């Protein structure tokens, strides 16, 4: 394949660069059922350029647009569950 040939597929890192997203967000995309990623080996995932373009066009038509949180953002936005139903007064009484 010569240098002048257009790419047929992107790697996950190349796709992240093209889309301007971080690597974890790119892997979140390729693991979606509706995303056109192809696993060519246990360690290699490629994304056909034309399929990515078509997928992006379809996503742009959806209302409202779907924004995926990165794994770090999802972790940051979690709400802590209450540890127990005891109040601070109950805890102070137990310490005495």
pTM of the entire predicted model: 0.61
pLDDT along the chain (96 residues), means of 10: 76 96 94 94 96 92 70 61 55 57
Q: How high is the pLDDT of residue 32? A: 93
Q: How high is the pLDDT of residue 62? A: 77
39 Cβ neighbours under 8 A, 6+ residues apart = 45
- Write the Ramachandran bin of 20: left for phi over 0, alpha for psi from -120 to 50, otherwise beta: left
């Amino acid at each position: 394949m010569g240098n002048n040939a257009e790419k047929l597929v992107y790697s996950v890192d190349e796709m992240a660069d093209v889309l301007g997203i971080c690597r974890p967000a790119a892997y979140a995309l390729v693991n979606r059922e509706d995303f056109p990623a192809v696993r060519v080996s246990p360690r290699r995932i490629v994304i056909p350029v034309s399929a990515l373009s078509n997928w992006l066009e379809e996503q742009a038509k959806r209302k409202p647009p779907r924004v995926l949180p990165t794994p770090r953002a999802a972790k940051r936005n979690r709400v802590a569950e209450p540890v127990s139903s005891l109040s601070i007064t109950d805890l102070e009484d137990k310490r005495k």
